[in-house]
Chains A and B, each alone.
Chain A
Amino acid sequence: MSADESAELIAPGTGGSTGSEAHGSGAQRSGAHRSGTQKVETVLFPERRSFWNPLILSSLMRKESQRFVSEWHEMLLGPLVTTGLFLMIFEVAAGNRVQLADSIPLLTFVSAGLISITIVHGAYMFPAASLIMKRMDGSISDDLMSPVLAGEFVAGHCIPNIASALVTGLVVGLVCWATTPLGPFSPVFLLIHVVVGATMVSAISLIVGLWADKWDKFAAVEGFFLWPLTFLSGAFYSLAQLPEMFATVLPYTPFFMLVDGIRFGTTGYSEAAPLLGPWGGTAILAVLSAFLLVWGRALVRRGYKLKA
């Protein structure tokens, strides 16, 4: 319907829908006619076609990838150094004296937390930064003028970022594996879980990028929301060390499911709620990701804070 409505605005009087007379003439109307008026929903990305065009999508993805492909070594080195530092600190401060629940060495336990942090940080950076920078530059018009669908817009911004987050997470995981023995792997689960997790954070990042008109807001969401949630969701400590109340509630929060799933995939140790298990966590994250992606796409389609 919306495509028809926007077409009406361009060529009044050519259509036959109910509200066309009210729009076409622009004269004052009485209340009785008003009841037939359809509310015009201005749409920035009207659906001129139904299917995604692979060429358009791949061009958009290539453009977004170039943002970080050119400096991939810097992108990798930062998390590597930080991970190495954390591993060293844990090793020196507590070392192999510490055995958490189920006799897993501390470093092995903590590796999952480090991988989660890397993935969350990596997945959050680029969609939001890209959108904010483009909006400030004015080069957002390049994206708006091109014939992309709203869904392609979302996919083009999120998919390269998910890929880069995965690569960074993998590298960090390899570093951890070289340092400390990681237990039984569940590769299929791990792959699915990490993709779903990165998608969720990318979707959050996209929505934040649409909403934030200043860098302050972008940094605030990361500093006050993502970091605390990730750190406090069992990245470095086990549920057994928390007071009762938290220990019962935490397994039902998405970020805990993210960290726990990665821990299960790399070590086979999981503290998920008995009702859900690791796969349940992945499922819930997938549902959340889908919801956020749909929401993001709706915002993009409406042109929320994108058009003047």
Chain B
Amino acid sequence: MEFSNDKQVIDGLADTSNEANWHGLWTLYSKEVRRFATVYTQTILAPAVTTLLFLAVFTLALGGAVREVWGLPFATFIAPGLIMMSIMQNAFANTSSSMTISKVQGNIVDILMPPLSPRELTIGFALGGMTRGICVGLFVAIAMMFFVEIRIAEPLFVILFGAAAALMLSLFGLIGGIWADKFDHLAAVTNFVITPLTFLSGTFYSVDRLPENWYALAHFNPFFYLIDGFRHGFLGQSDSDPWMGFAIVMGVNVALWALTHRLFVSGYKLKA
């Protein structure tokens, strides 16, 4: 094997054959899945408990006074939002922690050395994050069924927006994980970007209750369209048109995918 510091040679080696490395892609994906599946207590059960806790607490705290939103009981209203929140937070956590832990511990070479093209890297990680997001979402939804009346008006939107949300947050997580040098940076991104955007995008309230400026601002937040469309799939009503929301969301996803792919190709903060 030739070891070379020349970037073009390294990239050339990775793309030696024009065929996709299916076996490698599958290996990367299954590594990512096993990474969270073996510690499912921490990765699936704990988030589910936290989400159910939120459901109980917010229903008790707000549901008493705000008895009905859109003609539905408060718990039924916030349930889809909470499921979506768990999908988003866990998809983000999976990819971002994977990347950052690999960088900090030094086993990022395990990803860079094998003959995986940047496209395969992106696909593998993104799908891994999506899998965790969707697993947690499913688990939370099933657990909620025991407590809250969950009815699905349009399953298509549920599937589309659920997948789109998991993908978007996986990609955010990848970008964040690649950028972060220490866990502190990652915590900062989670606390100051992801959490506020998630909380303020209409999970707990309908955005038509917001004052003028905030209402307009909410429409610039891609998470708003995710939660809104997902809720439309459950309840049949939403603040904005779901198809427009889906178009916006997929546009954001395409942009994020291109950015992530670009990051892997250039090796930004991954290769010295």
A interface residue numbers (CB < 8 A to B):
71, 74, 77-78, 81-82, 85-86, 88-90, 92-95, 97-99, 106, 110, 216, 219-220, 223-224, 227-228, 231-232, 235-237, 241-242
Across-interface contacts of B191 in A (CB, < 8 A): 77-78, 81-82
Across-interface contacts of B66 in A (CB, < 8 A): 93-94, 97-98
Across-interface contacts of B209 in A (CB, < 8 A): 92-93, 95
The interface stretch among B9-17, B55-63, B131-139, B236-244 is B55-63
B184–A231 CB distance below 8 A: no
Taking chain B's interface residues, is the majority helix, strand, or loop, or is none over half, making it mixed? helix
- CA of A71 to CA of B183, assembled, Å: 13
Taking CB as reference atom, which chain A residue is nearest B207? A92
For residue B196, CB closer than 8 A to chain A, the reply is yes
Q: A71, A93, A224, A242: which contacts B49 (Cβ < 8 A)?
A: A224
Q: A97-B66, A242-B60 provided; 12 other pairs, C-beta below 8 A?
A: A74-B187, A81-B196, A85-B196, A92-B204, A94-B61, A216-B41, A223-B49, A227-B50, A227-B53, A231-B56, A236-B61, A237-B60
Q: B41, B64, B187: which contacts A237 (Cβ < 8 A)?
A: B64
For residue B36, CB closer than 8 A to chain A, the reply is no
A231–B53 CB distance below 8 A: yes
- CA of A99 to CA of B65, assembled, Å: 8
**Interface centre among A93, A110, A235, by most B CB within 10 Å?**
A93
B interface residue numbers (CB < 8 A to A):
39, 41-42, 46, 49-50, 53, 56-58, 60-62, 64-66, 184, 187-188, 191-192, 195-196, 199-200, 204-205, 209-210
- CA of A85 to CA of B203, assembled, Å: 12
Across-interface contacts of A228 in B (CB, < 8 A): 49, 53
- Contacts A74-B184, A232-B56: A237 and B196 contacting too (C-beta < 8 A)? no
Nearest Cβ in chain B — how far from A122, in angstroms? 14
3 A-B pairs closest in CB distance: A98-B65, A236-B61, A93-B205
- CA of A107 to CA of B237, assembled, Å: 29
- CA of A89 to CA of B85, assembled, Å: 14
- Contacts A78-B191, A93-B209, A216-B41: A232 and B49 contacting too (C-beta < 8 A)? no
Q: B39, B53, B187, B210: which contacts A78 (Cβ < 8 A)?
A: B187
Across-interface contacts of A86 in B (CB, < 8 A): 199
- CA of A88 to CA of B196, assembled, Å: 10
Q: A106, A110, A223: which contacts B46 (Cβ < 8 A)?
A: A223
Nearest Cβ in chain A — how far from B131, in angstroms? 21
Across-interface contacts of A220 in B (CB, < 8 A): 41-42, 46
Across-interface contacts of A81 in B (CB, < 8 A): 191-192, 195-196
A224–B46 CB distance below 8 A: yes
Nearest Cβ in chain B — how far from A218, in angstroms? 10
Q: A71, A77, A237: which contacts B57 (Cβ < 8 A)?
A: A237
Nearest Cβ in chain B — how far from A198, in angstroms? 22
11 sample A-B contacts, Cβ–Cβ < 8 Å, listed by A number: A90-B61, A92-B210, A93-B66, A106-B65, A223-B46, A223-B49, A232-B57, A235-B57, A236-B57, A236-B58, A237-B60
Q: A71, A82, A92, A241: which contacts B205 (Cβ < 8 A)?
A: A92
- CA of A257 to CA of B56, assembled, Å: 20
- CA of A94 to CA of B41, assembled, Å: 34
Across-interface contacts of A93 in B (CB, < 8 A): 62, 66, 204-205, 209
A223–B196 CB distance below 8 A: no
B60–A241 CB distance below 8 A: yes
A94–B65 CB distance below 8 A: yes
Taking CB as reference atom, which chain A residue is nearest B202? A92
- Contacts A85-B196, A216-B39: A71 and B61 contacting too (C-beta < 8 A)? no
Nearest Cβ in chain B — how far from A49, in angstroms? 40
- CA of A110 to CA of B58, assembled, Å: 11
Across-interface contacts of B210 in A (CB, < 8 A): 92
Across-interface contacts of A99 in B (CB, < 8 A): 65
Across-interface contacts of B195 in A (CB, < 8 A): 81-82, 85
Across-interface contacts of A97 in B (CB, < 8 A): 65-66
Across-interface contacts of A77 in B (CB, < 8 A): 191-192
Across-interface contacts of B62 in A (CB, < 8 A): 90, 93-94, 98
- CA of A74 to CA of B46, assembled, Å: 25
Taking CB as reference atom, which chain A residue is nearest B60? A237
Nearest Cβ in chain A — how far from B72, in angstroms? 14
A85–B192 CB distance below 8 A: no
Taking CB as reference atom, which chain A residue is nearest B190? A78
- Contacts A81-B192, A92-B209, A223-B50: A216 and B57 contacting too (C-beta < 8 A)? no
Across-interface contacts of B49 in A (CB, < 8 A): 223-224, 227-228
Taking CB as reference atom, which chain B residue is nearest A235? B57
Nearest Cβ in chain B — how far from A232, in angstroms? 7
Across-interface contacts of B196 in A (CB, < 8 A): 81, 85
Across-interface contacts of B61 in A (CB, < 8 A): 90, 94, 106, 110, 236-237, 241
Across-interface contacts of A227 in B (CB, < 8 A): 49-50, 53
Taking CB as reference atom, which chain B residue is nearest A219? B42
B46–A89 CB distance below 8 A: no
